[in-house]
């Protein structure tokens, strides 16, 4: 719809103020740039803008701003042009006869300099090229010696530079694992894995995303001789089939040996995305609330790694899964900014949660040889407090053994 506006009857400042007060909630815009220029030119001449007081000029500017949509700075510029003469739109003529200052030979010279100095920042590179010409009198650096610092980065993006330059510090994608957030599909078997070091020993912590079933193993060193048997032992302790193995991008898990092991077991390996710290947040929180809270921060001698691993398998892992309740999300609230807040309204042990998931989906996820009847004998043999008391006694024996190692040492 095309609206024609006649404002010839508006000749005083009071009439403009009445118009502006009545059109506060109305959006009025002229069409083309030519119409806006013509309107500004006619208004400046009709209202005698040049002879007005500053307060009156401010009202006229508000009026022009309302109908043209221009900002203050642009309006002042257009009004100045209208006071000098007729305000007309300047034709835009693109210059096609430009000539590049820095040729491909200059870019190759920059590339050679970067290769010799391993690509310093633009300021240091600029100083090197200036010294080459001023101090050491190399004429080929005549143009590059006067280049601006910012334009050095522009030349580094040119095809003549990028075609042959190899940046040794540039990150590259490691073809191991899939960079993605794992999708458990409401089924147990998608585990999150991380490593917690305690000076001379390493705790490998693995948590299932749905049931929070947790398995911890201990190794004296992150090496092939210790890591692969430990991972095999870790996977064997899960009562259900593991189909996804997710970790951060650390080299202890992102390597060909681990990839070969997981591929042999038909387990998909995924790794966290860059700048997505929540991809592995579940096991990171367990590192603090379980590993550090129970094992502490003090030095553990590598000589008790096997004893610690036996303690984990016999007492600590059963305690975590059969006798220690965990919180589960029952509701997710989203505020007006789109931020999510989880409500943990359900608390139970991972084993009971595994039962709930199995009943809800009408199927069992156990490996061959595992069943609820077999696990019930472990879960309900003694009470939670009784098993926790036994576990703490064995834990204290482990800590005393660690102290004795330090005393002997």
CATH number of the CATH domain containing 366:
3.30.420.10
- By percentage, how much of the chain surpasses pLDDT 90? 46
In tens, the pLDDT along 8-20 reads: 667 788 887 887 7
Residue 177 covered by a domain: no
**292 and 196 fall within a common domain:** yes
In tens, the pLDDT along 75-92 reads: 888 888 888 888 888 787
**154 and 265 fall within a common domain:** no
Confidence of residue 164 (pLDDT cuts 50, 70, 90): confident
Residue 304 covered by a domain: yes
Residue 399 covered by a domain: yes
Q: Does residue 176 surpass a pLDDT of 50?
A: yes
Burial of 215 (0-12, 13-18, 19+ CB in 10 A): buried
Neighbours of 281 (CB within 10 A): 12
Q: Does residue 28 surpass a pLDDT of 80?
A: no
Q: How far apart are the first and last CA of the chain?
A: 91
Confidence of residue 96 (pLDDT cuts 50, 70, 90): low
Total domains in the fold of the chain: 3
**199 and 275 fall within a common domain:** yes
Residue that has been written with the tokens 């084993």 in this structure: 351
Residue 23 covered by a domain: yes
- By percentage, how much of the chain surpasses pLDDT 70? 92
Confidence of residue 216 (pLDDT cuts 50, 70, 90): very high
**79 and 122 fall within a common domain:** no
Residue 183 covered by a domain: no
**301 and 357 fall within a common domain:** yes
**245 and 387 fall within a common domain:** yes
Residue 173 covered by a domain: no
Confidence (pLDDT) at 208: 95
Say if CB 3 and CB 59 are below 8 A apart. Answer: no
Confidence of residue 24 (pLDDT cuts 50, 70, 90): low
Confidence (pLDDT) at 201: 92
Host domain of residue 64: 13-84
**208 and 348 fall within a common domain:** yes
For the segment 23-36, the average pLDDT, to the nearest whole number, is 72
**115 and 216 fall within a common domain:** no
**54 and 109 fall within a common domain:** no
Confidence (pLDDT) at 162: 82
Average pLDDT over the chain reads 87
**Residue ending a domain, choose from 53, 84, 115:** 84
pTM above 0.85, yes or no: no
Q: Does residue 382 surpass a pLDDT of 80?
A: yes
**235 and 137 fall within a common domain:** no
**47 and 123 fall within a common domain:** no
Confidence (pLDDT) at 1: 45
Q: Which of 400, 110, 82, 367 is nearest to 240 (CA)?
A: 367
**What Cα–Cα distance (Å) separates residue 170 from each residue in 116, 118, 148, 165, 250?**
17, 12, 24, 11, 18
Neighbours of 23 (CB within 10 A): 13
Residue 170 covered by a domain: no
**378 and 233 fall within a common domain:** yes
Residue 290 covered by a domain: yes
């Amino acid at each position: 719809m095309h609206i024609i506006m006649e404002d010839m009857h508006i000749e005083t400042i009071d009439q403009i103020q009445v118009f502006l007060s009545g059109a506060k909630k109305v959006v009025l815009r002229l069409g083309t740039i030519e119409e806006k220029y013509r309107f500004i030119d006619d208004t400046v001449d009709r209202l005698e803008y040049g002879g007005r007081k500053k307060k009156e000029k401010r009202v006229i500017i508000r009026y022009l701003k309302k109908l043209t949509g221009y900002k203050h700075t642009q309006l002042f510029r257009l009004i100045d042009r209208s006071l000098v003469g007729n305000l007309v739109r300047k034709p835009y003529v693109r210059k096609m006869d430009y000539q590049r200052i820095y040729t491909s030979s200059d870019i190759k010279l920059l590339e050679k300099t970067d290769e010799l100095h391993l690509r310093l920042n633009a300021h240091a590179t600029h100083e090197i090229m200036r010294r080459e010409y001023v101090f050491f009198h190399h004429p080929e650096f005549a143009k590059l010696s006067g280049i601006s610092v910012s334009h050095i980065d522009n030349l580094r993006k040119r095809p003549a530079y990028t075609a042959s330059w190899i940046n040794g510090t540039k990150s590259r994608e490691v073809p191991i694992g899939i960079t993605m957030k794992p999708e458990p599909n409401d089924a147990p078997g998608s585990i999150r894995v991380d490593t917690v070091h305690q000076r001379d020993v390493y705790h490998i912590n693995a948590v299932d995303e749905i049931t929070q079933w947790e398995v911890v193993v201990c190794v004296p060193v992150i090496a092939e001789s210790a890591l692969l048997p430990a991972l095999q032992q870790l996977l064997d302790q899960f009562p259900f089939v593991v189909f996804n193995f997710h970790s951060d991008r650390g080299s202890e898990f992102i390597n060909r040996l681990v990839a070969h092991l997981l591929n042999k077991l038909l387990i998909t390996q995924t790794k966290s995305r860059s700048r997505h710290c929540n991809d592995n947040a579940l096991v990171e929180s367990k590192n603090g609330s379980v590993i550090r809270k129970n094992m502490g921060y003090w030095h553990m001698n590598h000589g008790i790694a096997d004893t610690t691993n036996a303690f984990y398998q016999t007492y600590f892992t059963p305690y975590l899964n059969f006798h220690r309740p965990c919180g589960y999300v029952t509701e997710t609230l989203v505020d007006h900014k789109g931020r999510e807040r989880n409500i943990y309204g359900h608390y139970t042990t991972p084993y009971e949660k595994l039962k709930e998931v199995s009943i809800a989906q009408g199927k069992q996820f156990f490996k061959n040889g595992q069943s609820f009847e077999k696990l019930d004998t472990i879960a309900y043999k003694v009470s939670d407090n009784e098993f926790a008391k036994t576990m703490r006694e064995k834990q204290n024996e482990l800590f005393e053994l660690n102290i004795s190692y330090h005393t002997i040492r």
